[in-house]
Amino acid sequence: GQSLEQPSEVTAVEGAIVQINCTYQTSGFYGLSWYQQHDGGAPTFLSYNALDGLEETGRFSSFLSRSDSYGYLLLQELQMKDSASYFCAVRDSNYQLIWGAGTKLIIKP
């Protein structure tokens, strides 16, 4: 079956760097996306990787290795407002989104 694995919870300190990993097993691959969701809100799009390598957008970066079926989201200079759930999602060959279960990021002062 198709699946994405990511840690259920990560704890970090304000100002630090945190990496959220995502490994996937899907039929076909058209890119890995990351979404941020605050409690009660809709998921907001953060990044999309279709090719191997690192994509940087401000404090957030996303990495993809297709040969390893692996990607990660890197958050730098953590702020309290970054406390949220982060979902990775892969679009498969049928254009369907396969979602990870989400990683709850807890940031401590």
> Six-digit token pair at 97?
């989104």
Within residues 78-97, the interface with other proteins by CB under 8 A covers 85, 87, 89, 94-97
**Please, what is the minimum distance in Å from the beta carbon of residue 35 to other proteins?**
7
d(CA 28, CA 93): 4
Nearer to other proteins, 54 or 97 (CB): 97
**Please, what is the minimum distance in Å from the beta carbon of residue 102 to other proteins?**
5
Cα distances (Å, whole numbers) of residue 65 to 12, 42, 43, 76 = 25, 28, 24, 20
Q: Is 70 in the site for other proteins (CB under 8 A)?
A: no
Nearer to other proteins, 44 or 79 (CB): 44
Q: Is 12 in the site for other proteins (CB under 8 A)?
A: no
Q: Which positions lie near other proteins, rule CB under 8 A?
A: 33, 35, 37, 42-45, 48, 85, 87, 89, 94-99, 101-102, 104
